[in-house]
Amino acid sequence: MRSESIKSPLLQLQKVRKIFPGVLALDDVDFSARRGEIHAIMGENGAGKSTLIKVLTGAYPRDGGRMMLDGAEIAPRSPQEAQRLGISTVYQEVNLIPSLSVAENIFLGRQPTRWGRIDWRQIRRRAQAALERLDLSIDVGRQLSSYSIAIQQMVAIARAIDISARLLILDEPTSSLDANEVQRLFAVMRKLRDEGMAIIFVSHFLDQIYAITDRITVLRNGRLIGEYPTSQLSRQDLIARMMGRELADLDVQLQQEESGQRDSHQSISMRDIIGRGIIPSPGTRGEGHGGGFLSTPNQSSAPSPALPRSTGGGSEMPSPILRARSLGRSGSIQPFDLEIGAGEVIGLAGLLGSGRSEMARLLFGIDVADSGDIEIGGRKRVFRQPRQAIALGLAFCPEDRKTSGIIPELSIRENIVLALQARGGLFKSLSRARQDEIASGYIKALGIATPSAEQSIGNLSGGNQQKAILARWLAADPRLLILDEPTRGIDVGAKAEIQKLVLSLCRQGTAIVFISSELEEVVRVSDRVLVLRDRALVGQLRGAAISEQAIMQTIAQERPAEVAR
Amino acid sequence: MKRLRLDQRHVPLAATLVVCVLLYVLTGLQYPSFFSPLVLADLFSDNARLDIAALGSTFVILSGGIDLSVASVMALATMFMATAVERFHLHPAIAIVLTLFVGCGVGYLNGALIHFFDLPPFLVTLATLFLARGCCFLISMSPVAAESPFFQSFGEAGLHLGTITLHLGTIVFAGVAIVCIYAAHLTRFGRTVYAMGGNEQAARLMGLAVGKTKVLVYVFGGLAAALAGIMAMANIPSGDPLNYLGQELDVIAAVVIGGTVLTGGVGYLAGTVLGVLILGIMQDFITFGNRDAAWTQITTGLLLFVFVAMQTVLGRWKPGQRQKLWTRRTSTQSIGITS
Ligand SMILES: Nc1ncnc2c1ncn2[C@@H]1O[C@H](COP(=O)(O)OP(=O)(O)OP(=O)(O)O)[C@@H](O)[C@H]1O
Ligand SMILES: [Mg+2]
């Protein structure tokens, strides 16, 4: 298909080194990217992927090494310089200006001018066109912040693609995208690759890596592990190289842990975990079924897909801790009834804009309901503010960690104990020893990569920030915990840990509402799945009836045309 | 096809405009002489000084910073100019150019300290506030009268349109306003200022020239303050080291009333012009009615309350979430899930 001749190295990094206080983030890493290839950088959270990219684009100064672009040595001192050299980048977090319009965000810094003045009409037109390449048609004149994170991410991608660069870098661009969007992005990426562009792609979704990339570079703890053609590296080997352990070791270790902790007849092997959603199977992300060695079809691996738990058979209803009756908000979500029992995990599934987050926001009092009521502990409540919900033992871990999650200046410890401490009131304080204990406990449990708990959280890698936020809510020990996309941007190993923690929490009686765009994950952890469509609750699946297939069918029923279009 | 929809971003500006017009009409109804074109012309020329300084500060605030040294720089400009002409017998044109340089110099000092040493703008400009004021006293402890015929003509210059005179101050202010609005909306510099104020980190990663723009913004702030000082000489031809004490707060008040958000990234230059007008009309209302000057301060305070409250409310308000944004081409298999 593509001629091999154009695949000469465009970018070469030699012995690149980056030191943060207490962290050797890049330890003499070599890297090269060729024209006409899509090159993945893989590694666990905190392995140094984003740091490598930021050093390459001049966002961070480097502490050693050489960088060559097209044979010439480069040393960009700012992203601006890198952009001028033909390097276009989407950084890990959506890095755009929320207060400006979509169109302006796409053209900031490179606005077309006419007679010295910015040509706004052309900007709008070309922004529209740039988004249409990704099949996205939105009003480009509106403020960026009025759109969902997924759309913001698409806008960032559109901007990067529109800068006709020699080298395109995408750092976890797909973390909030759904399968369609990913496919559209991939189509554009393939086209650019075939035109001779070099593309660097970072993602924690193995299916995406195998669907789109030609070559994989693996990093671990800031060190280069190796570079491999994608077709010659099995998933098993890839994971082993990322984690630094042989898969077999891990298998045994996990089994031991499982049998130690759970009176389960169904101990889980690594293979099961991979087949059942810790690593997404090709069904939802990436390309069609089959192929991959580890993509065990989900249905075959489990008679009852929800993990067995001591909360009983699942059929009898535990006493409800929250009951919502025809709770709704016009324009947001249609009235729904909901009962959540102690120790129950409720998964929310639905298509884009189906109202999952809206439902969560209503339950937590971020949006005020205009119909129906909530009953907690046998009394009716009206939530006008999240504070009221928190006081009653509800907790909400929001989707958008950057704006509503971390407090970047505070340390990891302080961020983790925040919710727990807030519950104690303004003047009661948690002893320092207890704080340290909690923080270090979660740092270990979730594998947060950091030199110490006193590191400020803003310095953590993206995935590790997500883990810390999650730890905050897990530590708060709420009665009902709402998790909106808790595993976004989190690496393979940590996902399993998080799912385990979620399950152990609800064994202690916490009810959990679990929102995730990865269906396998929803299937795996949920006792009950609520299916939403068009901002309404359209179905419920329980126990053994829960499967990806069933969820998809519920979404599709009565409306096949819409989904199949 | 064209929808008449008030963009969320335009609401504060619209509100300022409504308040300004209301105030003008109310004052006019109370004191009919207020409607005379003469008074209107005076309203502009009296406030030209504050206007010019506030336009400069608007850029600073839009970029996410703050400039507390404005009033001191204005005073320094009057002192410097008066001394240069009176004592050193410099040609006024040269004195003007030199004064503008002084303004730029203080601005550059602000910008450079903030950018190169990554210091907080509030503290840096607080320091230059004292520095510039100190320099005023260094030049002279007492007012310096500028009796040169130049200042005489300076004050009388203007465009005579029938009975009304457009004073030089008004003309310069109009020129500055046009340049500012043009720069803010139609140049990359202006857009970078907005972007920085919106999210500086992101602006940097987007490859915008954040550092350069930041320094430039403060230089422009200083330049505008110096120009404001020079224009003030047209009204009162003297330099006074005690001039404009505390007026940096008037400037900030005008910018905020004009709808610019203090944290940066959102606002309009035209809003600042309206903000200054609102303060001016209020002042006139109080002087026309021979009311106590205390009321100026009190009403400014109240207005600020109202506008800040309004901005907060508008900031929280999200336009009715309309979805159906996607041209969806889905296969039955793909199950895109995002809320
Ligand atoms: N600004 C910073 N200050 C201090 N340490 C940092 C900073 N940025 C990153 N680090 C550290 O450098 C290491 C590598 O981080 P990096 O962001 O490159 O990880 P990553 O591979 O992109 O992980 P993820 O998959 O979570 O995005 C981490 O240990 C992180 O804590
Ligand atoms: Mg990263």
C-beta of residue A406 within 8 angstroms of C-beta of residue A458: yes
- Nearest chain B residue (CA) to A112: B188
User: Which atom of ligand 1 is found nearest the CA of A464?
Assistant: 26
A223 CA distance to ligand 2 middle (Å) = 15
Please give the average per-residue pLDDT across B61-85, as a whole number.
Answer: 94
A45 CA distance to ligand 2 middle (Å) = 7
Instruction: Give the pLDDT of residue A380.
Output: 83
* Separation CA B329–CA B334 (nearest Å): 10
Name the token pair of B185: 């909306």
- Cβ contact, residue pair B339, A183, below 8 Å: no
Predicted confidence band of residue B315 (pLDDT cuts 50, 70, 90): low
Please name the residue that has the structure tokens 């842990």. Answer: A257
Q: What is the pLDDT of residues B237-293, one digit of tens each?
A: 888 888 899 899 999 999 998 888 888 898 899 999 999 999 998 888 888 777 787
Is residue B316 scored above 80 in pLDDT? no
Strand runs (DSSP E) across A368-439, as ranges? 371-376, 379-381, 394-397
Please name the residue that has the structure tokens 């224009």. Answer: B231
Please give the average per-residue pLDDT across B74-85, as a whole number.
Answer: 92
- Nearest chain B residue (CA) to A356: B339
Strand runs (DSSP E) across B95-179, as ranges? 144-145, 158-161, 164-167
Cβ of A541 less than 6 Å from ligand 1: no
**Cross-chain CB nearest to A331 (options B192, B320, B329):** B320
Contacting residues of A for B199, CB less than 8 Å apart: 95-99
Contacting residues of A for B204, CB less than 8 Å apart: 59, 78-79
* Separation CA A264–CA A266 (nearest Å): 5
**Cross-chain CB nearest to A79 (options B204, B266, B319):** B204
A169 CA distance to ligand 1 middle (Å) = 17
The ligand with the least distance to the CA atom of A29 is: 1
Predicted confidence band of residue B189 (pLDDT cuts 50, 70, 90): very high
Instruction: Give the pLDDT of residue B67.
Output: 95
SS3 sequence of A335-377: EEEEEEECCCEEEEEECCCCCHHHHHHHHHCCCCCCEEEEEEC
For every residue of B4-32, DSSP letters joined together read ----GGGHHHHHHHHHHHHHHHHHHHHSG
Mutate to test the pocket of ligand 1, among A51, A402, A465 (most ligand atoms within 8 A of CB): A51
Mutate to test the pocket of ligand 1, among A461, A466, A467, A490 (most ligand atoms within 8 A of CB): A461
* Separation CA A505–CA A543 (nearest Å): 19
Helix (H, G, I), strand (E, B) or coil at A26: strand
Which one-letter DSSP state was computed for residue A143? B
Under CATH, to which class is B8-318 assigned?
A: mainly alpha
A:B CB pairs within 8 Å? 167
Does the interface predicted TM-score (ipTM) exceed 0.90? no
A459 CA distance to ligand 1 middle (Å) = 7
Strand runs (DSSP E) across A264-342, as ranges? 320-329, 333-341
Is residue B45 scored above 90 in pLDDT? no
Please give the average per-residue pLDDT across B196-210, as a whole number.
Answer: 91
In whole numbers, what is the pLDDT of chain B averaged over residues?
84
Cβ of A60 less than 6 Å from ligand 1: no
SS3 sequence of A212-272: HCCEEEEEECCEEEEEEEHHHCCHHHHHHHHHCCCHHHHHHHHHHHHHHHCCCCCCCCHHH
Contacting residues of A for B195, CB less than 8 Å apart: 97, 100, 108
Residue B116 C-alpha, separation from nearest chain A C-alpha, in angstroms: 15
How do the residues of chain A divide into helix, strand and coil, expressed in percent and rounded to 5? 40, 25, 40
Highest mean pLDDT pick, A240-254, A401-415, B12-26, B222-236 = B222-236
User: Which atom of ligand 1 is found nearest the CA of A92?
Assistant: 27
Instruction: Give the pLDDT of residue B63.
Output: 95
Contacting residues of A for B315, CB less than 8 Å apart: none
Q: Is the pTM of this model over 0.80?
A: no
**Cross-chain CB nearest to A100 (options B194, B323, B336):** B194
Pairing, β A72-73 against β A64-69: antiparallel
* Predicted confidence pLDDT, tens digits, chain A (565 residues): 444 444 568 999 999 999 988 788 899 999 999 999 999 999 888 889 999 999 999 999 999 889 999 889 999 999 999 999 999 999 987 689 998 999 999 999 889 988 889 999 999 999 999 999 888 888 999 889 888 888 888 899 999 989 878 999 999 888 878 778 888 899 989 999 998 899 999 998 888 999 999 999 999 889 999 999 999 998 888 888 888 765 445 444 444 444 444 333 333 333 333 333 333 333 333 333 333 323 333 333 333 333 444 344 444 455 688 888 888 888 788 889 888 888 889 999 887 667 888 888 888 888 888 888 888 877 888 777 777 787 788 888 877 666 667 788 888 888 888 877 776 666 667 788 888 888 888 888 888 888 888 888 888 888 888 888 888 888 877 888 898 888 877 887 777 777 777 888 888 888 899 988 788 888 888 889 998 888 888 888 888 888 888 888 888 775 443 333 3
Mutate to test the interface with B, among A351, A513, A515 (most CBs of B within 10 A): A351
As to burial, measured by CB atoms within 10 angstroms (0-12 exposed, 13-18 middle, 19+ buried), residue B312 is exposed
Contacting residues of B for A513, CB less than 8 Å apart: none
**Cross-chain CB nearest to A138 (options B207, B208, B325):** B325
Cβ of A92 less than 6 Å from ligand 1: yes
* Separation CA A512–CA A311 (nearest Å): 13
Tell me the H-state helices in A15-62: 49-56
- Nearest chain A residue (CA) to B200: A97
Instruction: Give the pLDDT of residue B339.
Output: 30
Instruction: Give the pLDDT of residue B73.
Output: 96
Contacting residues of A for B337, CB less than 8 Å apart: 178, 349-352, 354, 356, 516-519
Instruction: Give the pLDDT of residue A303.
Output: 34
Of the candidates B288, B229, B270, B264, the one whose C-alpha atom is nearest the C-alpha of residue B84 is B229
Residue A119 C-alpha, separation from nearest chain B C-alpha, in angstroms: 8
Instruction: Give the pLDDT of residue A317.
Output: 52
Instruction: Give the pLDDT of residue A426.
Output: 60
Please name the residue that has the structure tokens 């209301």. Answer: B22
Each as own residue / partner, the long-range contacts of residues A402-407 (CB below 8 Å, 24 or more positions apart, any chain) are: A402/A93, A402/A94, A405/A465, A405/A469, A406/A457, A406/A458, A406/A465, A406/A468, A406/A469, A407/A457
Of the candidates B246, B250, B261, B248, the one whose C-alpha atom is nearest the C-alpha of residue B307 is B261
Which one-letter DSSP state was computed for residue A36? T
Name the token pair of B251: 């400037």
Highest mean pLDDT pick, A162-171, B102-111, B276-285, B310-319 = B102-111
- Nearest chain B residue (CA) to A78: B207
Q: Whose CA is nearest to atom 5 of ligand 1?
A: A459
Give domain limits for chain B: 8-318
